[in-house]
Amino acid sequence: METTPSLTADESRLVLLVRPLLPEFAAALAGRYRFVLAADADASAAAEARVLLVLGLAPVTAEHLARLPAVELVLGTSVGVDHVDLDVCRSRGLTVTNAGAAFADDSADYAVGLVVGVLRRVSAADAYVRRGRWAADGDYPLATKVSGKRVGIVGLGNIGSRVARRLAAFGCAVSYHSRSPKPSSPYTFVPSLLDLAADSDVLVLCCSLTEETKHMVDREVMESLGKDGVLINVGRGGLVDEPELVRCLQEGVLGGAGLDVFENEPAVPPELFGMDNALLSDHRAVTTPESFRGVLEVVTANLDAFFSGRPLVSPVQL
């Protein structure tokens, strides 16, 4: 029977950190590896380390990697890896991992919450009641139903596929756009994002941010989605042309938006604050105690696999 090698924090298990470990991570991994902040690493550690662990969305630049000649693995804890200089990783033959499916259920749940929240104007109705306007002015204006809506999903990966299953249970007609069709998917593939928007009541962004997807949702896409259409973004803020989004909401070109992510976080376009048809949150779709435990499991599994010479559990295709 194959046994797992004993894991001790010896010199060969040195892991450099871009940011300090979360307390939960530090407690769970104590004694298994030797962790050193990259910024504090001496010349010997910087020359020796084979793994760089990236907490959250801390940037990993060409300059960072140039100081770490022995690094073979950039171990991420987020789903997207747009904060990592992937060109340098490709040129050096480095492996990059992400959080895998650790955040998928929470993100999908939250995306559905945003869909319901925007279409039914939950937040705006709550504010209406809290301001005493129900008694003074009567019922809040009617909002539209969720069930039966045509939903377009951009990116049918771990998160997008879960969003699709949840909204299909609402009786929604689900279509999707991605780099290529998913043969096993029961949903309709639409090769053009513009066509997907034109045929959707709700457009949900779940894809990664890359040079190809940056500002993929521009004014033309929002115009195609239409004056009653809703845009939901749980991917990355840079997927959307943010100034155009503000203008489209102001002008009534777009019906509403549910935004968990923004292009220059934590900065949010102030014009959105007064809009009842915009539901805003602070990049929290992925964060629950359960998802943090899931990320810890993925990180641990990747570290164990790397130092044992086994396949990594969540490699990213570069």
String of DSSP letters for 275-316: -TTEEE--S-TT--HHHHHHHHHHHHHHHHHHHHTPPPSSBP
Q: What is the pLDDT of residue 6?
A: 44
Spatial separation of the C-alpha atoms in residues 102 and 125, rounded to whole Å: 33
The predicted pLDDT at position 10 comes to 53
Write the class of the CATH domain 11-102+289-308: alpha beta
* CATH 3.40.50.720 domain span(s) along the chain: 11-102+289-308, 104-280
Given a cut of 50, the residues of the chain with pLDDT beneath it are 1-9
Is 161 strand, coil or helix? Answer: helix
Residues in contact with 1: Cβ distance below 8 Å, sequence separation at least 6, in sequence order: none
Confidence (pLDDT) at 12? 72
Catalytic residues: 236, 265, 283
> Mean of the per-residue pLDDT values for the chain?
95
Q: How far apart are CA 124 and CA 284, in angstroms?
A: 20
| CA atoms of 114 and 280, how far apart (whole Å) | 9
Tell me 238's DSSP state: G
For domain 104-280, the CATH class is alpha beta
Given strand 230-233, what is the order of strands in its sheet? 188-189, 173-177, 150-154, 202-205, 230-233, 256-259, 278-280
Burial of 193 (0-12, 13-18, 19+ CB in 10 A): buried
CA-closest candidate to residue 75, choices 62, 89, 87: 89
What's the pLDDT at 318? Answer: 87
